[in-house]
Chains A and B, each alone.
Chain A
Amino acid sequence: MKKILFIILFFLIWFNISYWYENQGFLNYKEENWIVNFQCEKQCFIFIWSKENNNILYIKWNIIWNWVVWYWFLNWQQIIPGEFSNIKNNISLENKFFFNKLQYYNQLPNEIITILIIDWNLKSDNFSFILDKSNFIDNLKLNFDNFIKIETLTPYSINLRYWIMIWWISIVKIWYIIFILIWIFFLLNKKYKKFNNFLLLGLTIFLFIWFRNLYTYYDITKTWLKSYTFESIDNKTFFDLWDYITFTDKVRKTLYLDDKNNKKDCRIFIDSFQDWPFKAHWQSVYLKPCQIVDDISKAEYLMYYKENIPNEIKWEKLIDFNNSYLYILTK
């Protein structure tokens, strides 16, 4: 389906090649001096005509809600995926996409369309994008990033892959080889008795790794205590659950759901900009003991999380929090 869409879009561009760039899918789109204000619903595209010798896509944004941005290249035959960036809410940021990071970059023709894709329902405030050439510092940074790559750990990391990568080799593999060589050396050289020194060396390296891990855990815990535990109620955010927990807590308190002596039997309709994990959580656990209903007509309460409210709804508003709402049926 997406391929068909892109073929259609490609031909749309084909007839508009006189423009430097073209956009699709926006509700509103105003551009002035390379600064764009737009409103996007679901998925929007900006077609940047030629990459020529430029190798950086430089974007600046100041947006109201979290969103996803990525880019693709479009040549005459196919769509070539580029990088992906998940952008958090209410933060003004600048970001550089280095095309050189892509292994196939050098194989791309100069005359190729770059497509900037913006996902989800959002409004921009002074968004700008520029295709540019990398300078010396950019190249240095890029090469260093390519040389050493550290795996991102999150509080909910349940599996790890490589930890630290030097070029394309995991540091684990390097140590693996070194220690097997040392082991073979010791096994072959039976006369060498100073084993305690070897043990000491091993323990020291182990201690160093220990310290490195300790720092990682401290860092994760610190970040999250700051943004979640010790943050004021209205500003609490929990990683990619954002303010979902705060909003849910507000709903529970408003409806007295934790008051066990005064058990509430309520029916609630929920809608969210994204089903997983929010709707799944509410449905199975976090709006208990309320019942979740699929039909608005059967509901006593309506809940919208980062979702546009249908115009016909004229219910009484109980909560209005960061584009999330709770309504009650008025009698």
Chain B
Amino acid sequence: MKRKLTLGWLYPQLMNTYGDRGNIIVLTKRSQWRDIDIEVKYLNEGYSAKELQSCDLLFMGGAQDKQQQIVAKDMTKEKMKVLSEMIEDGIPGLYICGAYQFLGNYYKEADGTIIEGLKIFDLYTENPGKDVKRLIGNISVDITAENKSLQTMVGFENHGGRTYLGKNIQPMARVVIGFGNNGDDKTEGAVYKNSYGSYMHGPILPKNPWFADLLIQKALEKKYKEKIELNKLNDELELTAHDFILKKIS
């Protein structure tokens, strides 16, 4: 039986800065290479809660501030409820930068204005202001979640906001080089059920192919309610790219 996945891309036109589309491309290609039928649903502003509900895997990227305000307006109570239920139910998802912040409790702007988040992830973000440097540069981390011992990920971060995790959420990784969530506590990203939030662009998936596979695998397991083992792909180029940048920044 040919397996099928629906990948929901939340706000592709508004939340797609820093090459985040690469994540969609990688999830698509790596599914297709394994003969998994994958459909990308472009959830642009105005999509219905029902369309969102039909997705097996979710992705949302970062954005410019102006765009983020449009998203906040489009996120109706009904859509928020559906997204929250899906995440609680264990629908896997990857939320980068702006999206990651948006899932938290709140975002405090430099002037003190508080923007309410979706309150799905127990974390908050504060922007210390224009005079404090943005956290920009190549980053490498060790994954602490998933018991993936010694698994390294590489990426590029560029964010003004500092994110602090609450009690009810686990960090995704420990920073080796770079800043991560806030530049202080060495944590990077967050994991809640099967949802991952992270500041890592680059984009994150092309040079960390096992992470892309983890998302595909979890989406299939959730959908087909069985243990899934994905076929191995030839990742020589991906791993060369991964090791090359790791060596360059170490």
Q: Do A and B come from one complex?
A: no
